[in-house]
Amino acid sequence: MLLRKTTPEDIWQVMKIINEGKAYLFENGVDQWQNGYPNENVIAKDIENGYSYVLTSQEEIIGTIALSFDGEPYYDIIREGAWLSNDAFLVIHRMAITQRLRHTNAATEMLHLAEQLCEEKAVCSIKIDTHKDNKIMQNFIKKNGFNYCGIVTLGSEGERLAFEKKW
């Protein structure tokens, strides 16, 4: 599996995976990604900013993720806890795997490839957030070495549980 930058030509495949994720969240009673977000405009902006990546297997797009080393203003204020560090970090947003590979190691592999990007930049921290009802994502990130740090507010998206992995 390879992680590469998303191109504008990839948007329809990225949106297919995101829409599968939206349906999965809805089916599991999670009120996340249910209000039209993320949409093509968000992904196009991620591509423009250099944040959007796709996970490929034999050149097929099987996952999508937004990765930024530019900080996250919403993370400046954390309540009911604290970040593990104040060092430079990678922030992960909009992570999804194609439905047919949902219960494989594809998401973990995508996370490991993101960690390799950190190593290339000598960054030793990754921060991520998720909806309080998204137990599936919470379990996934905890299983992959993230620690719960507190609550952040993402503007109109509302409160999210915040996690960090530091090495």
pLDDT in tens, 38-52: 999 999 999 999 999
Give residue-wise pLDDT tens across range 56-80: 999 999 999 999 999 999 999 999 9
CA dihedral (103, 106, 110, 116) positive or negative: positive
pLDDT cut 70: percent of the chain above it: 100
CB of 128 closer than 8 Å to CB of 150: no
Give residue-wise pLDDT tens across range 85-121: 999 999 999 999 999 998 899 999 999 999 999 999 9
Count of beta carbons in the 10 Å neighbourhood of residue 21: 21
- The C-alpha angle with vertex 12 and arms to 8 and 15, in degrees rounded to 5, equals 110
Q: List the chain domain ranges.
A: 2-166
Domain 2-166 -> CATH class:
alpha beta
Backbone angles phi and psi of 116, in degrees to 5: -65, -35
